Copies of this chain bind each other. A is one copy, B any other.
Amino acid sequence: MSVPSAPAVCLLSGGMDSAVTLAEAKAAGFAPYALSFRYGQRHAHELEAASRVAHALGAVEHRVAALDFDKLADSALTGSEEVPKDRDEADIGAGVPPTYVPARNTVFLAVALGWAESLGATDLFLGVNAIDYSGYPDCRPEFLRAFEDLAAVATAAGVEGSRFRIHAPLVEMTKREIVLRAEELGVDLGLTHTCYDPREEDGRVLACGRCDACALRLKGFREAERADPIPYATSAEPSR
């Protein structure tokens, strides 16, 4: 007889980090419930990638919650500012970049917490990364601990004694380590989408190769000595 897996809510953006995080949740023995958001992001390709990843990795369920965040918060990711390009690697992670969406992970985790409580789950997985990260305050371990403390007093389950845990298995990993961990866990990174500013050509989605997200991803593959399976716009290739 097998013990039924405990449910866990996994935030799934469609990017590389959240895909590996979902695979980590499964490897740790949880039954993953994947949650994505439609929040006015320019890169709607993310949601298609999230759906591919949830299916490929065997999520129990994949839900997409809509939130019209773009009406409230100004950010390059929701269309009101330019996505920065060709930044020096040293500048990525120094200060908060214009792609920061105010309180985004707080909102995402809050909604995930509501779903978790409805499911009877006390485990949440989030693919944040504080090493090769992009300078977002809500990707740091102190944010995750503060959210756990909040969940303990914010929910009926918490008041009744359950302790919610925010798992961020990649938080201390470099992008290089994430690429290699994907390989170990059998995650096909060709299904993921990372670029903040993609374009379509002949029905294919091409990553720009120049935004902060592409730069960090490409650095990870380069340092892991692996080829990135996704297609990039030609103009980005010469520099790689």
Q: Which residue numbers of A lie inside 8 Å of B, CB to CB?
A: 35, 63, 65-69, 71-74, 96, 100-107, 109-111, 113-118, 137-138, 140, 142-143, 146-147, 149-156, 158-159
Q: A66-B66, A67-B65, A118-B72 are in contact. Are A153 and B158 (CB under 8 A)?
A: no
**A147 vs B109: C-alpha distance when bound (angstroms):** 13
Cross-chain contact B137 with A146 (CB below 8 angstroms): no
Q: A106-B110, A111-B72, A118-B102 are in contact. Are A150 and B159 (CB under 8 A)?
A: no
Cross-chain contact A106 with B102 (CB below 8 angstroms): no
- 9 A-B contact pairs sorted by A residue (CB < 8 Å): A65-B67, A66-B66, A73-B114, A102-B115, A103-B113, A104-B114, A137-B155, A146-B153, A147-B154
Contacts of A149 in B (CB 8 A): 146, 149-150
Cross-chain contact B117 with A73 (CB below 8 angstroms): yes
**A100 vs B154: C-alpha distance when bound (angstroms):** 11
Contacts of A138 in B (CB 8 A): 153-155
**A74 vs B120: C-alpha distance when bound (angstroms):** 11
The contact of A118 among B73, B105, B151, by CB within 8 Å, is: B73
Cross-chain contact A103 with B117 (CB below 8 angstroms): yes
